[in-house]
Structure 1
Amino acid sequence: MHRIAVKLYKRNPKEWKKSGQPNAAAAIDRLFAGSLNFPELEGRREGAAALYAFSPSYQGDRVLAVMAGLLGMVYAAFEHKDDFYMLDSLNEQKLYNCARNIEIAIWKMSSTRNDSGELLLVSNELDPNNPNLSFEREFGRVIGLLDFLSKVVADKNGRMITRITQSIATSVFLPVGGL
């Protein structure tokens, strides 16, 4: 997730400036400092924080909002633990939902525009002369890991993952922390 945040700040330098940071490195340090409670998110966490990044009324650092939301979901999927022991377990549904939420965030980044028709957050570059799909690869790596872990945990526990079908055009983020 750190690489994704770095890439987003490189593609969207105006965002770290909105939060009053002296440079992108300081904004990234702030994001990964430990707490995901940022005053500009007004108490929003996980899906609510990520959705706030795409709200036309939000004037703050959109990279911070979307990454804080996604990081909160990933932390919740891993039960807010940094270390795991042999007898610890994970919830396959949380891992699965987290992977789907990252897919939703990718779609929102590539489709949500302001009143002028500009993307709120620039990620992939689809210019045929100079394509840049590095975001797809980075996000795909994270999604693949989460999907793999959810399958392993489901197989280990003899459970099934509830696959939720929803229209991406009207999608909201799936619950992760409250499961």
Structure 2
Amino acid sequence: MTITRTDFLPITLLCTALLAGCASSPAPHGQVKGADASSREMGQSDTNRIATLAMRANLDGLYLLMDKLYRRNPGEWKKTAASREEALGKVREALETRQPWPELQGKRDIAAMALALGPDFKGDRVAAFIYATADMIIVAHGNKIEFFLIDGLDAQHLYNAARNVEIGAWILASRRNSAGGPLLLSDEISADMRNLSFEREFGKIVGRLDLLATFITEKYRRAGISYVQNLLGGSFFQFLPVR
């Protein structure tokens, strides 16, 4: 049996297509993971659950930013702790247990953010800024980190919190301290490096807050629409008996 060049053509095309498909397939970047089930969810509506997950993601995002800021500004954690890990743990514990941060002089939410980003602030600016930003977000959620059926959220407060995060990130990147240097080293753009990881993390927090604010607003509008749909469904969309 003689095999000609035309016999190889379909096989060649098939191999080329498979190789092209393999080359264009993205590298794996992990899988989406849901939170572990908990009996506490029995007291949560869908909105409560979404708000709780978003809050946890935002706090974790701020903890990640704190770690990255400490790595770029090691002199900050040395003002209050013996190690970077100890400084991270102190801020996390204070936030999770809703304890005040001593260097913020009793100030809360936006007042605390203004103090932490002041040119003359002498304390651990990383800890103060992250604590104040997290506190502002928690205050916008009604001073809660976890949400249940009895809890309500104000969409405008969530929207305002998103804008506050944007403002805080902009001040951090643009304002100078009393010595003329940056408040903190964060993103870096140079001829040899382009590191915008801080901006991306702040953007994720802003996005979650904006989405939750929109969702809360839509919830009440959709409740009215669902009521009308149920009325119509009761009259027009039921099957009729045939026997």
Q: Please indicate the TM-score interval, normalised by the length of the shorter structure.
A: 0.7 to 0.9
The number of residues matched between the two structures is 157
Where does structure 2 lack aligned partners over 5 or more consecutive residues?
Answer: 1-61, 222-243
Give unmatched runs, 5+ long, in structure 1. Answer: 159-179
2:9 equivalent to 1:9: no
CA deviation string 1:135-163 (max 9, x = no partner): 111111111000000001011134xxxxx
More displaced stretch, 6-15 vs 144-153: 6-15
Distance of 2:111 and 2:145 partners within structure 1 = 23
Return the letter of the residue paired with 2:63.
Answer: H
Amino acid of the residue matched to residue 155 of structure 1? Answer: E
- What is the letter of the counterpart of residue 12 of structure 1? N
Kindly provide the amino acid, as one letter, of the partner of residue 88 in structure 1: D
Query: For residue 161 of structure 1, what is the aligned residue in structure 2?
Result: none
Q: Give per-residue Cα distances to partners, 1:94-148, cap 9 Å, x unaligned.
A: 1101100000011011111124431011111111311110011111111100000
Deviation at 1:44, TM superposition (A): 1.1
Secondary structure of 1:32's aligned partner = helix
Which residue does 1:120 correspond to in 2?
183
Q: Which runs of 4+ in 1 moved over 6 A?
A: none
Q: Which amino acid aligns with 1:18?
A: K
Query: Is the Cα–Cα contact under 8 Å of residues 36 and 72 in structure 1 kept in the other structure?
Result: no
The structure having more radius of gyration, on CA atoms, is: 2
Match of 2:87 in 1: 27
Return the offset for 1:86.
4.2
1:29 partner amino acid: G
Q: Distance in 2 between matches of 1:67 and 1:43?
A: 15
Do residues 98 (structure 1) and 161 (structure 2) align? yes
Range moving further from structure 2, 80-89 or 6-15: 80-89
Q: SS in structure 1 opposite 2:195?
A: coil
- 2:143 corresponds to 1:80: yes
TM-score, normalised on structure 1? 0.82
TM-score, normalisation: structure 2:
0.61
- Determine which of 92, 108, 114 is the counterpart of 1:51: 114
